Amino acid sequence: MTERLIKNSFIHGEEMILNIGPQHPSTHGVLRLRVKTDGEIVSEVTPIIGYLHRCFEKHCENLTYEQVIPYTDRCDYIASMNTNFGYVVAVEELMGIEVPEKVEYIRIIMAELNRIASHLLALGTFGLDVGATTPFLYMFRDRERILDMFEMVCGARLLYNYMWVGGVSHDLPVGFVEATFKFLDDFEREIDEYNNLLTFNKIFIERTADVGIMTPEVAIDYGVSGPNLRGSGVKWDLRKNDPYSIYDRFDFNIPVGEGTMGSVGDCWDRYWVRVLEMHESVKIVRQALQQMPKEGNVHEALPKKVRPPKGSVYKRTESPRGDLGYYIISDGKPSPIRLKMRSPAFTSLSVLNEISRGWMISDVLAVLGSLDIVLGEIDR
Amino acid sequence: MGRYLVNIWESVSTMLIGLGITGKHLLRAKNGNVTLQYPEEKWPRPERNIGFDHQDYNVIRSRLVVDINDCTGCKKCERACPVGCISVEALKVPKGTDLGVTSNDTIKRLLVTRHDIDMSECMYCNLCTFPCPEECIYMTGGPNSHKTPIDYEFSEYDRNNLIYKFAVATQEEIDSYTIPVPVTPAPEGAKA
């Protein structure tokens, strides 16, 4: 299926190399694509990365454990709460810290709200890539409300530095719970609006269904995770399969792609999985808000000095883009001796050549949009 | 042929559904509820009272301010800063010199000769405001809004103007502690 167009075209012309990016609105950041084309059919895509490289991992070796947290914000800047979450969970496991109940619930609420915000941006820009401008504005309107709530909680809109080792920086403000409930009630209605605007639009379906099919085998071979993997029909979610924090207390489903509009693992499936995941996140936030203890000091378990004992830890969490892992080696000093971050967007990008070979140039951009990459995380 | 007509019908009908939603929002739109003519109009400054009694809650990410009269020169903010945009220099003064007390009644033992914050380097992580024992470094607004109102617009034409210099110690004051005053030789064994 992937090689469909190449095989069917019996006339082979001269191959041309087309350069997309680094400054291109469809590359979602500073990514350069070297596309080898035969006419309009793509025979090879080479992503060239590194324009946003900031030496995150090397830099962490010179920072104390607390000071690393603002830098993790800047890796996946669309879902900073989740990158913070993965890091603090890893350090806590290394130090053996038990965080209070309330902190666990606050973290879940923040991570899931951020997941919704991240998916909204992913779906909106995907729409932009295939030529739908209006849904993007609707989705940004709702994302704005989530960012307003984050601003209410920690003062920042994008780079939060909210989760600390052993706690969170601020307690929930008065009125946050009510505001979140109100948002969730509104938001579930808004999802139907998006579906009518974009998801079931015939033009959108024609652009995305049966395009860029990633079979489960390919996805697993390349190590793709998160919504992209689930879009291929593989039921794998770390929140269920390897629960961290208190995710085992919540009742939610793992949506997988079923090939509703085309075949399993096409762009539309990856899109649809994200829409369904927003429903699941709403469910989790609702349950967390209801179960959350009213009392509790969020600074209770903060260690005086974050100085983990000698040893190493690898902890993976489910970020909106997939399997986000931190490998931390400590030698008992205030700063880590080595910190490795396993970025889910990097593996998602690596599969691009495999699944977009044989399609048209405009399909490559659709595939790239459906993979939902963040260059801050790929280059780090 | 049938498929062809179905495709046309689906395209038109789904597009009309989308247009219906847009039209609904068009009719519901209130005047100016999205776009603001920025320099003339401004978003209301967000309500930053977190609603607790904790005075140390500072939920602001804005311009950094130091109440230099409360600063003891402990350099905790300098050590906490991940990017190193705060530079503090403090001078040990001879014993017995009275530098006053902070508003928390801590006796000041060091003369702060330099407290520079490079706001162009600051990444607004708020990590410096938490360790301060005197709560004298904070982002504008919040619990300290009676001292410094919240301010988001602090762009400058010259980059050097973004380096905020908070220290107020004059050169004479510094010299009076550093340049040894010729005194009568102290009795043997005494230490300065």
Please tell me the total count of domains within chain B: 1
Q: Which residue of A has its CA nearest to B19?
A: A197
Does residue B184 lie within any of the structural domains? no
Does residue A293 lie within any of the structural domains? yes
pLDDT at residue number B180: 64
Buried b vs exposed e over B23-47: b needs ≥16 C-beta within 10 Å?
Answer: eeeeeeeeeeeeeeeeeeeeeeeee
Query: Looking at the predicted complex, does its ipTM rise above 0.85?
Result: no
Q: Which residue of B has its CA nearest to A173?
A: B50
Which sign does the torsion angle of CA A90, A91, A96, A99 carry? negative
Does residue A60 lie within any of the structural domains? yes
Answer whether A175 sits within 8 Å of B51, measured CB to CB.
yes
> Which of the four pLDDT bands, split at 50, 70 and 90, describes residue A314?
very high
Mean pLDDT rounded to a whole number for chain A: 86
pLDDT at residue number B182: 63
Give me A15's structure tokens: 């191959």
Q: Could you report the per-residue pLDDT of B86-143, keeping only the tens digit for each?
A: 888 888 877 777 777 777 777 777 888 888 888 888 888 888 888 888 778 878 766 6
Answer whether A161 sits within 8 Å of B50, measured CB to CB.
no
Q: Which residue of A63, A201, A335 to mutate against B (max B Cβ within 10 Å)?
A: A201
- Identify the residue with better confidence: B34 or A186: A186
> B7: which chain A residues are within 8 Å (Cβ-Cβ)?
202
What's at A253, amino acid-wise? N
Determine the distance in angstroms separating the CA of B18 from the nearest CA of chain A, rounded to an integer: 4
> A151: which chain B residues are within 8 Å (Cβ-Cβ)?
46
Task: Look up the domain containing B138 and give its range.
Answer: 64-177
Does residue B101 lie within any of the structural domains? yes
pLDDT at residue number A1: 44
SS3 of residue A329 by DSSP: strand
Whole-angstrom distance, CA of residue B34 vs CA of residue A203: 28
Compute CA distances B102 → A219, B107, B116, whole Å: 62, 7, 20
> Which of the four pLDDT bands, split at 50, 70 and 90, describes residue B184?
low
> Which of the four pLDDT bands, split at 50, 70 and 90, describes residue A192?
confident
Answer whether B59 sits within 8 Å of A196, measured CB to CB.
no
> Would the pLDDT of A2 be above 50?
no
**At B131, which CATH number?**
3.30.70.3270
Does residue B158 lie within any of the structural domains? yes
Answer whether A174 sits within 8 Å of B51, measured CB to CB.
yes
Q: Chain centroid to CA A259: how far?
A: 22
Please tell me the total count of domains within chain A: 1
pLDDT at residue number A114: 92
Q: Could you report the per-residue pLDDT of A229-287, keeping only the tens digit for each?
A: 998 888 888 888 888 888 888 888 888 888 888 788 888 888 999 999 999 999 999 99
pLDDT above 90 covers a percentage of chain A that reads 9
Inter-chain Cβ pairs, chain A and chain B, closer than 8 A: 78
Q: Give the one of A156, A171, A200 whose C-beta lies nearest to B61's C-beta.
A: A156
Answer whether B123 sits within 8 Å of A175, measured CB to CB.
no
Q: Which residue of B has its CA nearest to A175?
A: B51
Q: DSSP for A288-301, please give it.
A: HHHH--S---TTTT
Q: Could you report the per-residue pLDDT of A31-65, keeping only the tens digit for each?
A: 888 888 888 888 888 988 888 888 888 888 888 88
> Would the pLDDT of A221 be above 70?
yes
Task: Look up the domain containing A311 and give its range.
Answer: 53-344
Whole-angstrom distance, CA of residue B73 vs CA of residue B102: 11
**At A186, which CATH number?**
1.10.645.10
pLDDT above 70 covers a percentage of chain A that reads 97
Q: Which residue of B has its CA nearest to A62?
A: B82
Q: Could you report the per-residue pLDDT of B16-46, keeping only the tens digit for each?
A: 888 888 888 888 776 556 677 888 877 766 5
Does residue A9 lie within any of the structural domains? no
Q: Is A114 exposed, middle or buried (0-12, 13-18, 19+ CB in 10 A)?
A: buried
Q: Which residue of B has its CA nearest to A194?
A: B18
pLDDT above 70 covers a percentage of chain B that reads 80
Answer whether A203 sits within 8 Å of B80, measured CB to CB.
no
Residues of chain B contacting A, Cβ within 8 Å: 7, 10-11, 13-15, 17-18, 21-22, 34, 46, 48, 50-52, 57-61, 80, 82, 123-127, 130, 139
> Would the pLDDT of A148 be above 50?
yes
